Structure 1
């Protein structure tokens, strides 16, 4: 679906503890395709941990080779640890430039949604030209 959401047996699952860029944000498509490549030819196991505010199932997802899917995306610099939900377990895996590169996801975590609104307004203005 995107960089932090997958479908397993037609069920939408939000990955535990991380935040990846939205599809229309910088690196959003790249995060989605990284997720695709990680999951390709793998069996993904989901251990449900919660339901989020949008009604999505939240789960710790493991690839058939034992790797934690959330951890792999963070290591690639295409997702951020979200300490509010993870307790900070993925923070040490973040690449040095991740928070700068994924600045909109970082802004969301810090409650700076006005930066999203500004970004979206600029993108709409570009599209209208």
Structure 2
């Protein structure tokens, strides 16, 4: 069974030589997340805790988008320091 996503990439069901579902194994190991649009939510219960945040952060680092979070943290720390001792 194959499909195509909105970017023209092939989405297919793949199996290991021993018959195990490759997507299931990757989700269980924390190397992938369930994508209900294509899986129907079949693998959601297999996701490890925090994997979505971990994979998003890894992707952001690889693409050089971490500066946004550094700026956010700096602003947050500056505001909290400025608010201490006032009331």
Q: TM-score range with shorter-chain normalisation?
A: 0.5 to 0.7
Structure 2 residue 12 is matched with structure 1 residue 59: yes
Shift of the 53–98 alpha-carbon distance from structure 1 to 2, 3 Å rule, reads same
Distance 2:11 2:37 in 1: 14
Counting helix residues as a fraction of each chain, which structure ranks higher?
A: 2
Counting strand residues as a fraction of each chain, which structure ranks higher?
A: 1
Q: Which has the larger radius of gyration?
A: 2
Measured against aligned partners, the alpha-carbon deviations of 1:49-106 in whole angstroms (never above 9, x if no partner) come to 212222222110001101111111101111111122211100011112312322359x
SS of 2:14 mapped into structure 1: strand
Structure 2 residue 54 is matched with structure 1 residue 101: yes
Structure 1 residue ranges (4+ consecutive) displaced by more than 3 angstroms after TM superposition:
none
Compute the TM-score of the two structures, normalised by the length of structure 1: 0.42
**Count of residues in correspondence between the two structures:** 65
Match runs of 1:114-125 below 5 Å? 120=65, 122=67
